[in-house]
Structure 1
Amino acid sequence: MRYYKLVTLGALFARLVCEGWAITVARVMKRIGYALYAASLSVIVLAIAALFLVVENTAVTLIWEVWAVRVPSRWAYAVPVAVAGTLLVVWGKRRWGDIPHTTRDVLGALKRGEAINYHTAWRDLLIALIILAAGAGVGPEASLMGAVIAYSVWQCDKLRYLRTHADSIRATPIPTRLRMLYHPTRWIEPAVSATDAANTAGAADTKRTIRVCAVNSLIVIVMFVGMTTMPKFSDAGMNTLDFWRRTWVALPLAAYALAVAGVCVLLRTGIRALSGRINVPMTVRLLVGGVLVALVVTVLPVLSTSGQHQIHTIGTLFTSLGAGALFALAAGKLLFAQLCIECRWTGGDIFPIMFAALLHGCALAKLLPGCQPVVVVMTVAFCTAIVLVGNASLAGILMALFFPAKLLPLELIVTLLAWGAMRVTAAVSAAVKRRMLAKTLPRS
């Protein structure tokens, strides 16, 4: 009898173990399947981004590097191209509104719990492609990232539908199941409405979506940088000890670059404020921007487009131009990019800033022939880019791609200096604003 009970208990225990193991395996397989499905949707989003980058790079190369040199007169070629681009941009924005939406626009709406219309994101990519191909001095990163974030929201809505209707999807035949999983406009489960975004479910959906957007955006940035031909500044000809003895110049150079970049930020803020006070229709702004683009692509083609396609020429510009010309080109690039943005030729400013920051560093290296050029260029370019971009980690990582690995410790120090200066400036500015506000309030 005792043995019978032991055998029964053993069989019961074995059954429980087997059932628990089966449940665990089922859960693991379910999670693996869910992860693979999420990865396949990410591949679709990244494929769209890669296609845009390839088309944009090919279009700009053909229009401004291949076909442009075949026409004897620059005016006869550049002006018609700029006019055609202006007309297309005006037509697109009058038909679909003030697009393309940038990263800040889409991410801000997502954080506020607003619905993202990802079904029309292709319009943003189309108008951004026209703006870039026409020669505007803005980068593709803002518009592209805005579209990637929108399509990432679509990805999360498809994943949410799978979680909600997993049993019904599993019960359908495989062809129907594939249609349900990958159809672009059907079988979608949107997130909770904006009015419920403060609830637990809404907050969880928003956080999950932002994580997916961050992962996809990071991969797109890597793809974007990988498609860019970057110049490499060399420290050849110096031994390690001599090299580090000459890096003392980085501290005064950082102070100088931070001051110049701060002045540029003030000027940019002033241009934005002045542009905001000018109340003119969007079509007028677009036409003014078209005239500006036509003038720049004809007279100063080195300042045209985003700077992504000219950044590999910095070494040639450094050896062939003087310090004054390099300073002028750096200032002109920043001004052209900002004016394009204010004229509603929407785009990003990261690549124009990187191009201008490197030119700024090369100009100062011309004035300091006794210093190691790579240290001068790196320090000035890092500080300028970090302050103008406003994000120390992003700007620091992108700028580090141009310089040898030996400079990494110095790059970290310069990045920390620029980040600290930005924090101190922001704190002082906030304190001054609070004090001014306190003085303007009526005394009780």
Structure 2
Amino acid sequence: MLMEVYVKFKLKEIFVMTLFVALLGGFVGGITWGLLFIMDAGIHFLWVDVKNAISFPFYSIIVCSFGGLLIGLWEQRFGPYPREMAEVLNKVKKGEKIPYNNLHIIAIAALLPLIFGGNLGPEAGLSGVIAGLCFWFSDRFKFIFSEMEELPQIGVAATVGVIFGSPLFAFVNQFEDENKPTAIPKNIKIFVYFVGILSGYGILTLLQNLFGGKLGMGHFPAIETVSGGEWAAAIPLAFVGVMAGMLYYLFKRLVKIAVKPLQKNIILKGIIGGVILGVVGMILPYTMFSGERQMTEVMNSWQGMGFVVLFITGIVKLLMGSVCHQMGWRGGKIFPTIFSGVAIGYAFALVLPIDSIFCVAIVTAALTATVMRKPLAVILLLLICFPINGIVPMTIGAVIGGAIPVPEWIGSTEED
């Protein structure tokens, strides 16, 4: 079998493909860093420099409303961008082409809600831009080797790896539910995927160390105690995460119904979304932004926040993700979902006599797997911030969260 593979794929062709994929991965890492750097600089300018200089009590409402106006104007002019990462991945896997004549439009559409405080992650916009660039590469260089059609999938996988800082998550997220035959034999495809992902991750890390612009979800300390109390609470805590995940789908369905009368008034919809975001953000500040930086703050202050604040913050952040998306503030859902799981997990750690990290790990994994529907990918993703001895509770949560189906009356797992 291996001999047949290598007869078809001569050593020279494999070398050229690997070199090309490595260059593509490095390019993906550079583009990703550039967009994240602009996002970080914009957030710092608006929410630190200007906010401190003005010191206005209703600052978040004014800024979010203005952001909603810009987002509405941009969507009215160019259409609803960016697409969800899952939607982009599904299109690429099906062989559907992502246009590359509007990448600057997608990039700006992705940056606006992120900079103006949207409860969104950056993965949606970045995956759309990178997928488009990869299709451009594929069209321009398809004379090099016939398997160029695989480039967009490799590029998107590299993007996922560099955004979340987890090459293994990117790889498994791409392959966990894949059943479509591919132009490249499986063993060679696995190899070139790793080359692209690691190349992108390496370039991004280098640029972040040199120039800044790093995303960071923080790192939880090791689980100190695992006794009968922890194991007795494991299944109930997993169901807490699952129930929160079901609320995610219910919120998405209810908000979509509530916003339906505004669908044709794109600008007003964006402004109202900004007002809601700003008002809620004044009361519960952690419901704004993607949550990866705020997670570290919660890790350091959860014991003084109280059960009610932590629990409501986690639930409302799930709600605000749907509000933002339906109001035209589009972006990713993974970072905010993880933050919600952390907040809810810490809330229950305050009232249960068990290890706090054990509690947070199970709830976060169950919630994230309920939303993503990919248990193995969730475990590998969460390993970038949870300790290695948290893999068992995370596995319990992720398996239960991924196994329990979402009832139709609650909502659909399909992307809007």
TM-score normalised by the shorter chain: which range applies?
Answer: 0.7 to 0.9
CA contact (8 A) 1:101 1:143 kept: yes
Where do residues 117-196 of structure 1 align in structure 2 (5 Å cutoff)? 117-163=99-145
Where do residues 337-348 of structure 1 align in structure 2 (5 Å cutoff)? 337-348=321-332
* Deviation readout 1:363-403 (Å, 9 max, x if unpaired): 111111x2222222221222122112333233322223332
| CA gap 1:295/1:119 in 2 versus in 1, 3 angstroms | same
1:394 maps to 2:381:
no
Of 339, 348, 371, which aligns to 1:355? 339
Give the letter aligned to residue 396 of structure 1: I
| CA gap 1:364/1:96 in 2 versus in 1, 3 angstroms | same
Q: What CA distance in whole angstroms lies between the structure 2 residues aligned with 1:261 and 1:34?
A: 41
- Tell me the SS of whatever aligns to 2:67: helix
Where do residues 271-310 of structure 1 align in structure 2 (5 Å cutoff)? 271-276=255-260, 279-310=263-294
Q: What CA distance in whole angstroms lies between the structure 1 residues aligned with 2:230 and 2:257?
A: 39
Q: What CA distance in whole angstroms lies between the structure 1 residues aligned with 2:163 and 2:309?
A: 34
Aligned length: 357
CA contact (8 A) 1:330 1:355 kept: yes
TM-score (norm. length: structure 2): 0.76
Q: What CA distance in whole angstroms lies between the structure 2 residues aligned with 1:212 and 1:136?
A: 26
Of 193, 210, 232, which aligns to 2:153? 210
- The Cα shift of 1:29 comes to 4.4
Of 44, 48, 55, which aligns to 1:61? 44
CA contact (8 A) 1:382 1:415 kept: yes
Q: What CA distance in whole angstroms lies between the structure 2 residues aligned with 1:260 and 1:212?
A: 32
Q: What CA distance in whole angstroms lies between the structure 1 residues aligned with 2:333 and 2:254?
A: 17
In the TM superposition, structure 1's runs of 4+ consecutive aligned residues that sit over 6 Å from their partners are none
| CA gap 1:262/1:119 in 2 versus in 1, 3 angstroms | same
| CA gap 1:119/1:399 in 2 versus in 1, 3 angstroms | same
- Tell me the SS of whatever aligns to 1:254: helix
| CA gap 1:30/1:388 in 2 versus in 1, 3 angstroms | closer
Q: What CA distance in whole angstroms lies between the structure 1 residues aligned with 2:240 and 2:286?
A: 26
Of 73, 78, 84, which aligns to 1:91? 73
Structure 2: 5+ residue stretches without partners:
1-6, 166-200, 209-213
CA contact (8 A) 1:361 1:378 kept: yes
CA contact (8 A) 2:134 2:152 kept: yes
| CA gap 1:212/1:316 in 2 versus in 1, 3 angstroms | closer
Cross-structure match for 1:333? 317
- Tell me the SS of whatever aligns to 1:401: coil
Give the letter aligned to residue 416 of structure 1: V
Where do residues 212-291 of structure 1 align in structure 2 (5 Å cutoff)? 212-222=155-165, 227-235=214-222, 238=224, 243-248=226-231, 249-276=233-260, 279-291=263-275
Q: What CA distance in whole angstroms lies between the structure 2 residues aligned with 1:380 and 1:325?
A: 17
**Percent of pairs with identical residues:** 21
- The Cα shift of 1:208 comes to 5.7
| CA gap 1:98/1:413 in 2 versus in 1, 3 angstroms | closer
CA contact (8 A) 1:68 1:74 kept: no
- The Cα shift of 1:152 comes to 1.8
* Structure 1 stretch displaced more, 263-272 or 302-311: 263-272
More helix by share: 1
Of 386, 389, 407, which aligns to 1:406? 389
Root-mean-square deviation (CA), in Å?
3.0
Give the letter aligned to residue 99 of structure 1: Y
TM-score (norm. length: structure 1): 0.71
* Structure 1 stretch displaced more, 81-90 or 142-151: 81-90
| Structure number with bigger Rg | 1
Give the letter aligned to residue 47 of structure 1: G
* Deviation readout 1:100-137 (Å, 9 max, x if unpaired): 23324434444555442213112111121111111111
* Deviation readout 1:190-233 (Å, 9 max, x if unpaired): xxxxxxxxxxxxxx765564345334433443259993333433
* Deviation readout 1:387-437 (Å, 9 max, x if unpaired): 1233323332222333222222332233223333x2xx36x869xx9xxxx
- The Cα shift of 1:314 comes to 1.0
Of 21, 25, 28, which aligns to 1:45? 28
Structure 1: 5+ residue stretches without partners:
1-23, 165-203, 434-444
| CA gap 1:350/1:136 in 2 versus in 1, 3 angstroms | same
- The Cα shift of 1:354 comes to 0.8
